[in-house]
Amino acid sequence: MYNLNMEFTKSLIKGKLIKRYKRFFVDVKIDKEVVTAHCPNTGSMKGLLKEGNEVYLLKHDDPKRKLKYGLEIIKAHKNLVGVNTHMANKIVNHGLKNNLIKELKESKSIKPEVFFNKETRFDFLIERNKQKTFIEVKNVTLVRNKKTAEFPDAITSRGSKHLITLIDAIKKGYKSYLIFLVQIQNMENFKIASDIDGEYYKNYLTAKKAGVNFLAYRCNISSKEIFIEKKLKIIDE
């Protein structure tokens, strides 16, 4: 699907969105044919699902797959948006290994999916300057203002739990980072969508005060590849 340089291993197929339904399915028109593709995003996908939006699908060769196509990118508000949430950690892993995240350059021993306690597993545990650091990644696809990406796009109690647990990690001697991975072209800023989830915003401010480090990075997105491109300014309301 992707190679080690975060390039798509096959050319994406362009189509037009008809509809998304049952969370995991999208109907797409390719030329004159209508196909059903897998939607690898369980979020609300707020603002992305307008009928007629340009979409990009990846065709899978695996004969065991029920659906031959997977949704990768939607064009909304004139920007390409990477909607495959399964790719977020792979993009960040590539960024860590290639020093694309300047605050976490020269990271040693990058371990994915590490349990902090019985209930919570963070996306990465890294070692840097002999300091162990937990990293949680949030995939960002919401844009309501031309240049500002936002998270979350729906109420996220799981997201709030992660914030509280990142504070616990600091108390136990770890450093804590949360990376908002903005898979939207042309964004310059990032903010918490406090009107969508006020509790998450409150927990974000508490975590920030407690020493959790927050970063927002934008991806370079095309039908050929997706990789971390630029740090964004985080706006606190």
CATH topology (fold) of 13-82: OB fold (Dihydrolipoamide Acetyltransferase, E2P) (2.40.50)
* Distance of alpha carbon 105 from alpha carbon 77, whole angstroms: 33
What is the model's pLDDT at position 78?
93
Break the chain into its structural domains and give their ranges: 13-82, 85-235
What is the model's pLDDT at position 6?
82
Q: Which residue has the tokens 């004139």?
A: 78
What is the model's pLDDT at position 2?
56
Predicted structure pTM score: 0.95
Q: Which two tokens stand for residue 123?
A: 């996306």
What is the model's pLDDT at position 108?
84
Below-70 pLDDT ranges, the chain = 1-5, 237
Identify the burial level of 22 via C-beta atoms within 10 angstroms of its C-beta, where 0-12 means exposed, 13-18 middle and 19 or more buried.
Answer: exposed
* Distance of alpha carbon 68 from alpha carbon 211, whole angstroms: 45
The hierarchical CATH code for the domain 85-235 is: 3.40.1350.60
Q: Which two tokens stand for residue 23?
A: 């969370």
Q: 212 and 166 in contact (C-beta within 8 Å)?
A: yes
* Distance of alpha carbon 235 from alpha carbon 93, whole angstroms: 25
Neighbours of 203 (CB within 10 A): 21
Task: Find the helix packing angle between 157-171 and 198-210, rounded to 10°.
Answer: 10
- Beta strands 189-192 and 148-151 are parallel
C-alpha dihedral sign at 219, 5, 65, 36: positive
Q: Which two tokens stand for residue 137?
A: 């990644």
Q: What is the pLDDT of residues 89-143, one digit of tens each?
A: 999 999 999 999 999 998 989 999 999 999 999 999 999 988 999 999 999 999 9
Q: Torsion angle of alpha carbons 82, 108, 230, 203, nearest 10°?
A: 70
Domains 13-82 and 85-235 share a fold: no
Q: Which two tokens stand for residue 10?
A: 């096959």
15: β partners: 55
